[in-house]
């Protein structure tokens, strides 16, 4: 291995160490209490070293949230073999809820925290690609539902937003511990129960 290749490998290794440290701190302390300083302390480098790789903390969190979207969409791949679009739509909802409840901190970063979106807003990115890709997958499935005779009289983009925001709302209330107050005795099952009720509503809308 030549000098240039070794240096490039060392750069990639340090970048990965920064991301691993940032993720560990984020999971332990949350976004607000994770800083460039304590990331640097954890990997035993100076804060200035981190700025060679990332513009700021928001960029680090943007990269971490990209990993979350890769995990989520990786789980969705199992639905490619589901030919019935209504069944695929329900499968998407179930996988989305399961991912959120199993990874509440990552879900928080992906869909609630400002840091990744602030990075997009302050960069040359034209759109939030990760969110757009996930929404587009949902929209394509609902479009297929409409094409096969479901949801007559409904508009695909608005309906897609309604479906996403409904499921997001349920898991967000659970993650942020709002269910404990009003549904303490059902907090472990209420999101999945609510999702099944939502599926029943979709079935009635689609008939």
Domains and CATH numbers, the chain: 1-54 (1.10.10.60), 64-206 (1.10.357.10)
| pLDDT at residue 1, as a whole number | 58
| pLDDT at residue 4, as a whole number | 63
b/e string for 164-193 if b means 16 or more Cβ within 10 A? beebbebbbbbbeeebeeebeeebeebbee
Say if residues 22 and 64 touch (Cβ distance below 8 Å): yes
205 or 81: which carries more pLDDT confidence?
A: 81
- The CB density around residue 122, as the number of other CB atoms within 10 Å, is 12
Average of per-residue pLDDT across 140-168 = 95
Confidence of residue 160 (pLDDT cuts 50, 70, 90): very high
- 172 pLDDT more than 90: yes
Structure token digits, residue 97: 């809820």
| C-alpha angle 194-198-201 in degrees, rounded to nearest 5 | 145
Confidence of residue 181 (pLDDT cuts 50, 70, 90): confident
Q: Among 148, 68, 156, which residue's Cα sits nearest to residue 104? A: 68
- 196 pLDDT more than 90: yes
- 166 pLDDT more than 70: yes
Cα gap 104→106, rounded to integer Å:
6
**82 Cβ neighbours under 8 A, 6+ residues apart:** 88, 91
User: Quick one: what percent of the chain has pLDDT higher than 90?
Assistant: 79
Average pLDDT along the chain: 91
User: Quick one: what percent of the chain has pLDDT higher than 70?
Assistant: 97
- 11 pLDDT more than 90: no
201 or 177: which carries more pLDDT confidence?
A: 201
| pLDDT at residue 2, as a whole number | 67
| pLDDT at residue 45, as a whole number | 93
**171 Cβ neighbours under 8 A, 6+ residues apart:** 96, 97, 100, 101, 107, 191
**65 Cβ neighbours under 8 A, 6+ residues apart:** 106, 109, 110, 115, 116, 130
Sign of torsion over alpha carbons 153, 159, 163, 169:
negative
**What confidence tens digit (pLDDT) does each residue in 101-144 have?**
999 999 999 999 999 999 998 887 778 999 999 999 999 999 99
| pLDDT at residue 13, as a whole number | 92
Cα gap 95→86, rounded to integer Å:
14
């Amino acid at each position: 291995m030549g000098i240039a290749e070794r240096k490039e490998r060392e750069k990639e290794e340090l970048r990965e160490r920064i991301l691993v440290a940032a993720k560990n701190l984020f999971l332990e302390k949350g976004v607000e209490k994770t800083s460039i300083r304590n990331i640097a302390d954890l990997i035993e480098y100076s804060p200035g070293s981190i700025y060679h790789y990332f513009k700021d903390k928001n960029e680090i969190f943007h990269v971490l949230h990209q990993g979350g979207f890769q995990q989520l969409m990786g789980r969705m791949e199992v639905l490619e073999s589901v030919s019935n679009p209504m069944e695929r739509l329900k499968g998407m909802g179930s996988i989305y809820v399961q991912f959120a409840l199993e990874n509440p901190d990552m879900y928080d970063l992906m869909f609630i925290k400002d840091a990744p979106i602030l990075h997009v807003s302050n960069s040359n990115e034209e759109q939030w690609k990760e969110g757009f890709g996930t929404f587009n997958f949902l929209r394509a499935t609902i479009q297929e539902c409409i094409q096969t005779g479901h949801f007559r009289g409904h508009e695909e983009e608005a309906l897609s937003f309604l479906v996403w925001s409904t499921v997001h709302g349920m898991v967000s209330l659970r993650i942020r511990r709002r269910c404990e107050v009003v549904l303490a005795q059902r907090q472990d099952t209420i999101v999945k129960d609510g999702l099944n009720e939502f599926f029943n509503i979709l079935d009635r809308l689609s008939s």
